Each structure stands twice: as C-alpha cells, then as structure tokens.
Amino acid sequence: MFSRLITRSIVGSRRVATFKPMGGNVMTFSTKKSAGTPPPPPPQQPPKSNNSLEKEWEELEKYDTNQEIPADVLKSLENSRLAQKKQYQEIISSLMESKETSKISSPKFEVKPTIIIPTASGKVARALFACASQARSLNIVSKDVDMILKAFDTIPSFRSIVEEPDIANADKQNLIDFFVDSVTLSPIGEFFLYYMSNENNFGILVNTLKDFQRLVASLSTEMNIRLTVAHEYNDKEKQQLEQLVRSYFTEDTKIQFAYSVDASIKSGYKIESPLLNHNATLSAAIEKSEREEKAIFSDFFNDLREAAVTDTPVWDKNEFKEKYFSFDVKAYEDSLNKSN
C-alpha cells in the first residue's frame, strides 16, 4: 500500500499539527511530536504506549498492493479532505492578512525573486513563493519542496501515477492525501498540495516545485555554473566564454565555473545552472536543422499526396511555390547577423 511505503521510506518520526485561533485573525500553530522511544514512566507506573499511533499503523498494514481500498475508507478520506481544505483556506487567508497589525504576515516582509517564470507552473510557484515570503517561512517551505521532490524521485511509480492522464483524478487525490498524512509538512506546504490536488493541477505539480526552487535560487548572489565544451579550453578561450556568461547576470553575482569536456557536442558550448540553461553546441544546431528539414519534407509530401487525391495541381499556386521554392535572402542574412 502506498501509505505504508511512504511511512517506511520517508518518515522517521511522526508529527501531528494542530491549528488554533489565538485572538483576532492571528493564527498560531502548535505541534506535538511523538518520539520513537517514549520517556521512562514515573515510579510505580507501567509505561504508556501510543495506542493511536499503533492503531493507525495496524490500519495501514491491512492494505496491500493487491487489495482495493474499502469504500468507507475512501469516503472518509473525501470528507476529511473537504474539511481540511476549508481549514487550510482559513489559515492561508490569515497568513496573507494585509493589515499592518498582523503579527504573522505582512507585505512589508515579502522578499521578491529576481526572475520571472511566465509558464503556468511558474505563476503558481510565484504565488507559493509570495505566500511563504510574507509568512517569513521561505526556508521552511523550501525544505517542504525539497522533501516532496525527493519523494517523487524515490517512491516507486509516485510521479508516473500522479502525471498519468488516464488515471482518475479522484485516485490521484487519494494518493496525495495518503502522502500528506504520512509526512511532516508546514501548513503552507500542506495547503499547496491540497490546492494542486483539488484543482487537478497534477500535470504541472513537479514543474511548479522545481520553478519554486529556481525562484529561491534567484535570491542568491553566488552561482555555480557548469560549462560543457567540445575540447579542453586554454586560458584565453575560458576568459572569453566566462565573460559572455557573466553578461547574463548582475555585476554583484559571484560565479564559480566548472568545466567538462564532451566531444560529442562537436563545437560550441553548453551552459547549465539553476537560473540559466543554454545549449549553443553544434550538435544541438544539427539536430534542430534535421527536425526542421524532416518537418518541411513531411509537409511537402503531404501536400503532394493531397494534390493526387483531389486532382489539384497545387504546384501552380503561388502559396506552394513561396513555401517550398522561394528563398528569403534578407531573412537568411538577418539570421547570420544574429548568430554572429
């Protein structure tokens, strides 16, 4: 069973979080952690066992990969998710309180990333970043993100199930619920997973987590960059390439370069870093031109096939001639100037 696998693979200890309103709109979070070894009992008293944890473990042990989850358990999970979603919405609403009297969160504490990611996952990551920043919990949420990504990488079939379009969203939601119940996350980290699950954003979940890491990394003024080249560079070649790479960053950014040699790229270079990835290798250019060439020939033969079927001489049309037999000298020269 998934939850049993997570419990054994990730969780070394269990933490139960409770959320209690403490005056006004301010929320506080009290956390009680059950240690692996209970403290010694007072004299003349037998040791007390954690019955609730033992019962929960027994319930998890009942399920295996060959047995379907009972309907009453699924119904209980659904009801629990709805209740928790409402609770977390109230928590996040309080955390995002814009009043200056808020003791937990205020826009004046917000730290903004130095890059913009315009994709759908990047926009969600930016919202998560802003929430964590205003709550002064960037480091805490960053640890949540690291752990969730580690789970996707280490737990068998976890990522493939969540991203598989043919699997029902309800099953994916139950999977996320089991995961959240089996690990220790901050309130913001838990709410993020509940939000992505209930909004059925499974396809961009992993990319959102990675984009969040990129946003956090943009705050650093130190950057480690890996440069892949086709041959060993001398000092002059390194200086020219490093000067080019530095132009992509602000002047106060401290950059550490690491070189690797890969003859398969033929010529050029490849830049890899948390903020910048750029493939300027000859092998990549050849692959791109081959893809474009195949696409053109495919369109060409499809047009000829359509002409044969419909008995239409498409080759007499100006559109056909311009598409396949014309050469735009100006566009070609402009592309050469850009490459130089």
State pLDDT tens for residues 258-279. 999 999 988 899 988 766 778 8
Highest mean pLDDT among 41-55, 104-118, 223-237: 223-237
Exposure string of 259-287, with b = 16+ CB inside 10 Å and e = fewer, is eeeeeebeeebbbebbbeeebebebeeee
Rounded CA-CA distance 331/339 in Å is 12
Rounded CA-CA distance 209/188 in Å is 13
The region of weakest confidence among 36-40, 108-112, 189-193, 210-214 is 36-40
pLDDT of the residue at 2 = 40
Tell me which of 133 and 273 has the higher pLDDT. Answer: 133
- Number of other residues whose CB lies within 10 A of the CB of residue 94: 19
Q: Tell me which amino acid residue 136 is.
A: R
Which DSSP symbol is given to 288? H
pLDDT of the residue at 137 = 82
Instruction: Check pLDDT > 70 for residue 301.
Output: yes
Confirm if 198 and 173 have CB atoms less than 8 A apart.
Answer: yes
Tell me which of 41 and 144 has the higher pLDDT. Answer: 144
State pLDDT tens for residues 78-120. 777 677 666 656 665 665 554 443 444 445 556 788 888 889 9
- CA gyration radius for the chain? 28
Which DSSP symbol is given to 230? S
Instruction: Check pLDDT > 70 for residue 27.
Output: no
Residue 180, Cβ density class (10 Å: 0-12 exposed, 13-18 middle, ≥19 buried): buried
pLDDT of the residue at 65 = 46
Rounded CA-CA distance 106/108 in Å is 5
> Which distant-in-sequence residues (6+ apart) come within 8 Å of 250 by Cβ?
none
pLDDT of the residue at 4 = 43
Parallel/antiparallel/unpaired status of strands 277-281 and 268-272: antiparallel
Rounded CA-CA distance 230/260 in Å is 9
Tell me which of 194 and 223 has the higher pLDDT. Answer: 194
Instruction: Check pLDDT > 60 for residue 15.
Output: no
The region of weakest confidence among 8-22, 72-86, 98-112, 326-340 is 8-22
Of the pLDDT bands very low, low, confident and very high (cuts 50, 70, 90), residue 206 is very high
Of the pLDDT bands very low, low, confident and very high (cuts 50, 70, 90), residue 54 is low
Q: Tell me which amino acid residue 161 is.
A: I
Rounded CA-CA distance 90/25 in Å is 9
| pLDDT, mean over the chain | 74
Rounded CA-CA distance 172/162 in Å is 6
Over residues 20-48, mean pLDDT? 44
Compute CA distances 246 → 31, 47, 90, 251, 257, whole Å: 45, 63, 45, 8, 10
Q: How many CA atoms lie within 13 A of 239 on its CB side?
A: 3
Count of helices and strands (H, E) across the chain: 13, 6
